[in-house]
Amino acid sequence: MKIAKDCIVFMQYTLTDEQGQVIDASTEEQPMPYLHGHGNIVPGLEKALEGLKAGETIKVAVTPEEGYGQVDPQAVQLFALDAFENIDEIKPGMQFHAEGPEGQVQVITVREIREDGVLIDRNHPLAGKTLNFEVVISEVREATEGELEHGHPHTSE
Ligand code: ZN
C-alpha cells in the first residue's frame, strides 16, 4: 500500500545537516514508526513521503519553514540565576525539557552563563537548519483505531 493519511509507516532514516554531519538516524534493525498525516514528523518530510511504498527510498532537503522553523531571536532570554538553584552545576550547552505554551515538550538550551543570569534558548535545536533526510520505507500498514485515537503508533511488541 502507498503512504497516505492514517497509515503507520516504518522508516529507516538518516538526517544530516548542511555540512553532511549526521544529526540523527534510525538503526537498520529498528525502523522508526510514525502515523502519517498527523504531524508526528516535520511537514516537509511528511509531504515528501506521501505516496511512497515499502522498499522505496527518497532523499529530501527540508527547509526550516517546513522543518523546525526559523530561529526566533525573541526565544533567547536571560533568566535570573536563582531560577536554576536546584541544579547542581549549570553549563553552556546543557539541555532541559520544559512544557511549551500548548503543553508540548520544548527543548531549552543553555547558551551562556553570565554574571547577571543565564541565557536560555527556547528555539528548537534544529531551528533555522535545512534538514537532509535519506529515507528507506520499511513497511506501510493501516493504523488501528487506537492508534488513530491517540495520534501515534502503538508498536511496543
Ligand atoms: Zn497511544
7-68+127-150 carries CATH number 3.10.50.40: yes
Residue 156 pLDDT class (50, 70, 90 cuts): low
Per DSSP (E only), the strands in the chain are 7-16, 22-25, 32-35, 57-62, 76-79, 95-99, 105-114, 117-121, 131-142
- Cα 29 to Cα 21, 32, 76, 102, 111: the distances in Å are 22, 10, 39, 34, 36
Residue range 36-83, pLDDT digits in tens: 999 999 999 999 999 999 999 999 999 999 999 999 999 999 998 888
Ligand 1 centroid to Cα of residue 147, in Å, is 6
Average pLDDT, the chain: 92
Q: Where are the domains of the chain?
A: 7-68+127-150, 73-121
- Of 3.20.20.10, 2.40.10.330, 2.40.10.120, 2.40.10.220, which CATH number belongs to 73-121? 2.40.10.330
User: pTM value?
Assistant: 0.81
Ligand 1 centroid to Cα of residue 109, in Å, is 28
Ligand 1 centroid to Cα of residue 150, in Å, is 5
Residue range 12-49, pLDDT digits in tens: 999 999 999 999 999 778 999 999 999 999 999 999 99
